[in-house]
């Protein structure tokens, strides 16, 4: 379980630059609704071995400054509500602005760690100018230049120190947790209601460890699991635009707290930007994944429609295409139990442990037939393979020159593991270790 860190601040102070720097990957996603490319807003980061999710609250708001005043308050409130720590970015070039003061006023009331980062400090003069930010009443500040990363180390050191220690999950219920995630209106609630509609299946309702998500312990096909529902929450006061952002933050929490993600998408909209985001988030968190295509009853069918549709989705998923895709209709209850059965299979794949002797017996001959290509005239010899004792499948390949094994070959190994041992729906990690 990672913590969630939110980055707040007014426009153009460098939130996205810092965000991109920390997740080391530029992710711009086209938003299907408004047709604008928005820089995207969440990713994983880690520092000194502590992993956290990063949310950039900027970019959700397009509009003039006065519109922004109200919006930024909403964003900050959202961040305060959902995040474990907050980075507040200000800009040394403009000095303290009225909007900064507003944000600071909101943040001073919070009993969560807040880190004031003064950005664009790339010389001594500016470092002196930064002193005026003491006026915001948030105590110490960190001077950074997010464009080249200077100063971010100190900021991150302080940040990860302040993040809550993640308690090992209490052992009280070792039931697998299935989270139902997807964009608003894809049919998450209806899916859960369709499943749970028959009262007798419900064992208990536990208030979820995930804030305001409901965990329902559910028993079907003699298999018991917790269903993490992120769908049922609608805050009356929040307007539609926030819900998009809100549902994203919700999904982040749900995904981090589950074993298998059921990613629901609306067949009439396809595997669009936000769904892809959720998919990759689940994949980066190394969770089991099942993709459910809902509202299949609304799609015009020709002979090959389902195959074609599936092909398109798999293309978008590359390189992680070994994922079950189930076409459902929540309305007509078509294949909704198939969806759960599939999730159960994926859960079993994720917890699968393969004996070392079996691994070596099956894989070493494959490797002998296709050894890693020689690199700089050096030949890599893989001697031994074992599965690591981690909650999800990770494999160590022991060899003489681990640094010479390239990604395409690792993918080749992964594909073989998948084919030989069935890891459908589960991300696999492969490590090359020195023998």
pLDDT tens figures, 337-375: 899 889 989 999 999 999 999 999 999 999 999 999 888
**Domain enclosing residue 311, as ranges:** 177-351
pLDDT tens profile 137-162:
898 899 998 878 888 889 999 999 88
CATH code (residue 271): 3.40.50.300
Residues 156 and 194 in one domain: no
Higher-confidence residue of 31 and 79: namely: 79
| Surface-to-core class of residue 178, CB atoms within 10 Å of its CB (0-12 exposed, 13-18 middle, 19+ buried) | buried
List pLDDT tens digits, range 386-416: 999 888 899 999 999 888 888 889 999 999 9
Percentage with pLDDT > 70 across the chain: 78
Q: Is the pLDDT of residue 168 over 70?
A: no
Using CA atoms, how far apart are residues 222 and 215, in angstroms rounded to an integer?
18
Same domain, 429 and 383: yes
In a domain, 168, yes or no: no
Binding-site residues sit at 9-16, 56-60, 119-122, 182-189, 229-233, 294-297
Could you give the percent of the chain with pLDDT greater than 90?
A: 26
Residue pair 9/59 in contact by the 8 Å Cβ criterion: no
Angle between helix axes 240-256 and 65-82 (nearest 10 degrees) is 30
Output the pTM of the full model: 0.64
Instruction: Please report the pLDDT score of residue 63 as a whole number.
Output: 47
* pLDDT of 112 strictly over 80: yes
User: Would you say residue 172 lies in a domain?
Assistant: no
Residue among 383, 386, 399, 393 nearest 425 (CA): 393
Q: What is the pLDDT of residue 272?
A: 81
Asked which of 329, 351, 373 is the last residue of a domain, the reply is 351
* The domain boundary residue, chosen from 314, 334, 351: 351
Last residue of a domain, which of 319, 351, 383?
A: 351
Per the structure, the count of domains in the chain is 3
Binding residues for GTP: 9-16, 56-60, 119-122, 182-189, 229-233, 294-297
> What pLDDT, on the 0 to 100 scale, is given for residue 420?
92
Per-residue H/E/C for 327-360: ECECCCCECHHHHHHHHHHHHHHHCCCCCHHHHH
Measured CA to CA, the distance from residue 54 to residue 19 in angstroms comes to 7
Complete edge-to-edge strand list for the sheet that includes strand 382-387:
382-387, 394-399, 429-434
What DSSP designation does 296 have?
G
Report the mean per-residue pLDDT for the chain: 79
Give the CATH number of the domain where residue 372 resides: 3.30.300.20
Structure tokens at 5: 């860190």
Report yes or no: 71 and 59 within 8 Å, Cβ to Cβ. no
Cα dihedral across residues 175, 185, 293, 31: positive or negative = negative
User: The tokens of 130 are what?
Assistant: 């930064």
Average pLDDT in the 301-330 region? 86
Question: Is the Cβ–Cβ distance between 71 and 63 less than 8 Å?
Answer: yes
pLDDT computed for residue 40 by the predictor: 53
Asked if the model's pLDDT at residue 318 lies above 60, the reply is yes
User: Within this chain, do residues 239 and 337 fall inside the same structural domain, yes or no?
Assistant: yes
Q: Which two tokens stand for residue 236?
A: 């009356």
Residue 234 scores a pLDDT above 60: no
Residues 321 and 235 in one domain: yes
- Say if 425 falls within a structural domain: yes
Distances (CA, A) of 112 to 6, 85, 164, 200, 376: 11, 6, 10, 42, 52
Task: Give pLDDT tens digits for 270-283.
Answer: 888 778 878 888 88
């Amino acid at each position: 379980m990672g913590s969630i860190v939110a980055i707040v601040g007014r426009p153009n102070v460098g939130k996205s630059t810092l965000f991109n720097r920390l997740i080391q990957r530029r992710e711009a996603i086209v938003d299907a609704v408004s047709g604008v490319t928005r820089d995207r807003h969440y990713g994983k980061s880690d520092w000194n071995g502590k992993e956290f999710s990063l949310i950039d609250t900027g970019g959700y708001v397009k509009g003039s400054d006065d519109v922004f005043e109200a919006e930024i308050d909403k964003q900050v409130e959202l961040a305060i509500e959902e995040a474990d720590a907050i980075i507040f970015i200000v800009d040394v070039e403009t000095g303290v602005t009225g909007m900064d003061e507003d944000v600071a006023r909101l943040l001073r009331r919070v009993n969560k760690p807040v880190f004031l980062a003064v950005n664009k400090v790339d010389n001594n003069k500016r470092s002196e100018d930064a002193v005026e930010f003491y006026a915001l009443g948030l105590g110490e500040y960190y001077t950074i230049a997010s464009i080249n990363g200077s100063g971010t180390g100190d900021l991150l050191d302080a940040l990860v120190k302040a993040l809550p220690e993640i308690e090992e999950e209490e052992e009280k219920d070792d039931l697998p947790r299935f989270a139902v995630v997807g964009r608003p209106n894809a049919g998450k609630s209806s899916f859960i209601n369709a499943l749970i509609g028959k009262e007798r299946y419900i064992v208990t309702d536990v208030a979820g460890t995930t804030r305001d998500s409901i965990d329902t312990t559910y028993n079907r096909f003699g298999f018991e699991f917790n269903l993490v529902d992120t769908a049922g929450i609608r805050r009356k006061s929040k307007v539609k635009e926030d819900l998009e952002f809100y549902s994203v933050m919700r999904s982040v929490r749900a995904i981090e707290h589950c074993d298998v993600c059921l990613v629901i998408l609306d067949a009439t909209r396809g595997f669009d930007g936000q769904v892809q985001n959720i998919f990759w988030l689940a994949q980066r968190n190394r969770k089991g994944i099942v993709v459910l295509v809902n509202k299949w009853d609304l799609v015009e069918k020709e002979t090959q429609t389902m195959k074609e549709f599936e092909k398109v989705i798999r293309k978008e998923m590359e390189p992680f295409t070994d994922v079950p895709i189930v076409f459902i209709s929540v309305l007509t209850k078509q294949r909704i139990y198939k969806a759960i059965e599939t999730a159960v299979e994926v859960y079993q794949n994720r917890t699968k442990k393969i004996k070392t002797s079996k691994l070596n017996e099956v894989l070493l001959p494959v490797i002998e037939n296709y050894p890693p290509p020689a690199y700089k005239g050096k030949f890599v010899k893989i001697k031994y393979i074992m599965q690591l004792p981690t909650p999800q499948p990770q494999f160590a390949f022991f060899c003489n020159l681990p640094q010479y094994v390239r990604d395409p070959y690792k993918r080749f190994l992964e594909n073989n593991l998948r084919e030989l041992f069935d890891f459908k729906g589960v991300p696999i990690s492969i490590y090359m270790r020195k023998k």
